[in-house]
Structure 1
């Protein structure tokens, strides 16, 4: 972690993706691969023994004491009481709120931070924090160690994470992965546009809309997560029984 004048005016992501500049940068790309590999190894090592976890996204600009912040605290608390670790981006705002709720409920509070061109530290309610240089490595950790996403109101970063999750579910890169949006008023316009424009022009199928569930009720959000988790467990048990029966018939 660096602060003040030591904060760089560019990031590792930016330098990786920027093709401008002297040619010697091109010769450093193989070494970047090693750094990227080390981030994956560190993330896998730190998070591998987490209990079942839910990732909560939301704006870093949400002020403490606001209705959205308090919703995040309640969500983190109730997810923890339901037996889930709570993973956020580790920053302030809605992320802090969810981490705070998890910590106050005695649960596992996790923050996956990211290097930014301005100062942003891990919030004080994170018990296990990992800082990443590259967004794509961090996104892998969010998905790999979560059984669902809950998205509070947020900006571009939240939208990016939301649509990444929806794309993975739509393309079946992940299965039985619920995506819950908290805040019917905030998300209503986006949902209307998805239905009228994306479905209306054939860019997605009507069934894709069902990948998104919207609510103002924290208890309902937790029920959606736990129900999907139970269904996934039942399906895995059915697959294991089918595999055992196949082996028995072959013998």
Structure 2
């Protein structure tokens, strides 16, 4: 990971004041409109510097190029920044929700752009998606440095107001209080519940109970994403400053909006990059709640590198709900057959309830 990145105006000023040289630096999505003097000064070198999506005057752009730097200007008329240097926030993705409805938000407009361009064969659109997703991955890696990340997987159709939703929320809270960073697919259902639990972690236990009651008034994102999201923001407004967690959703599944409880959101266009990235970054293990095809796929996506050891030592896998994973969708018998006689055999567990999952995860980590 390159350590010569500038992602804010404050960082830019610090480098200029400290060294006067921008040689070899990468500057991402910083508004440099008021830094023309610094960029055109003969004392400030730009050899090998790369400016990605930075706003600047034509004079500054010419000076950078004359000094041996590269300038990739902002891309007009797209609803996202392909060169972004930071993860999304819920407020950013849902901006304009109250005034214009969900269709007016950057999240919905980015999905609409994706729908228009994903099959048009335009290499420029393909390039923008690839650059955006790579920038998001870079920001995610920077955010998770040193974190003990536990992934929580589960179905997107799980409704607010159900016992299973409340259980997933308690799981997210317990993992966060134990010092883990909860990472989910960033969407609704079990994913939202786990992110909600992480958000509730700093508060007393009564907060989560009240939040669950409030959210039950809008049990699903169907038929109205707007009402569903507004209910989440009402909870956040009632209890500001909640615990942090990560959501990793995708515009590939446009019918699944991101949830507002993941404080840090890495949203992708390419679902395969998102899926692999979520599981690969779950370095402290993964908890699999009951789900359908997507969750089954995630179980074996995670089992494969554990089986071959391609990511080093196997990481814990805890499947929750014995009946679901042995009868309804019998993934557990196949997983145990794969694990037999291999190092990953000591890193898998099947439990009945979410209350058992944190202890099982801890046991597998130590074993």
- Give me the TM-score of the superposition, normalised by structure 2: 0.51
- Helix, strand or coil: the match of 2:126? helix
Distance 2:253 2:365 in 1: 37
Please name the residue that 2:112 is paired with: 7
Give the superposition deviation at 1:161: 1.1
Give the superposition deviation at 1:176: 2.9
Please name the residue that 1:171 is paired with: 308
* Deviations 1:51-96 (CA, angstroms, capped at 9, x unpaired): 2111101001011122221220111010001100111111111001
Please name the residue that 2:223 is paired with: none
Distance 2:339 2:261 in 1: 40
Please name the residue that 1:41 is paired with: 135
Pairwise CA RMSD of aligned residues? Answer: 3.1
* Deviations 1:104-129 (CA, angstroms, capped at 9, x unpaired): 00332211110135433211211111
Give the superposition deviation at 1:101: 0.5
Distance 2:366 2:129 in 1: 38
Structure 1 unaligned regions, length at least 5: 16-20, 232-251
User: Which piece of structure 1 moves more, 60-69 or 112-121?
Assistant: 112-121
TM superposition outliers: structure 1 runs of 4+ over 6 Å: none
Distance 1:52 1:129 in 2: 17
Distance 1:182 1:32 in 2: 38
* Deviations 1:222-248 (CA, angstroms, capped at 9, x unpaired): 1232344456xxxxxxxxxxxxxxxxx
Please name the residue that 1:215 is paired with: 351
Distance 1:192 1:126 in 2: 29
Distance 2:305 2:201 in 1: 31
* Deviations 1:16-64 (CA, angstroms, capped at 9, x unpaired): xxxxx8xxx3x829x7367425412322223423321111010010111
Please name the residue that 2:123 is paired with: 28
Give the 3 Å change call, closer, same or farther, for CA 139–11 of structure 1 in structure 2. Answer: farther
User: Which piece of structure 1 moves more, 152-161 or 208-217?
Assistant: 208-217
Max Rg structure: 2
Distance 2:186 2:289 in 1: 14
Structure 2 unaligned regions, length at least 5: 1-105, 203-242
* Deviations 1:112-148 (CA, angstroms, capped at 9, x unpaired): 1101354332112111112100112212321332121
Distance 2:152 2:339 in 1: 26
Q: Is the 8 A contact 1:110 1:128 kept in 2?
A: yes
Q: Which has the higher helix share?
A: 1
Distance 1:225 1:110 in 2: 19
Please name the residue that 2:36 is paired with: none
Q: 1:162 aligns with which of 299, 310, 316?
A: 299
Aligned residues: 214
Q: How does 1:40-59 map to 2 (within 5 A)?
A: 40-50=134-144, 51-59=147-155
- Helix, strand or coil: the match of 2:130? helix
- Give me the TM-score of the superposition, normalised by structure 1: 0.73
Distance 1:183 1:167 in 2: 22
Q: Is the 8 A contact 1:57 1:158 kept in 2?
A: yes
Give the superposition deviation at 1:192: 6.5
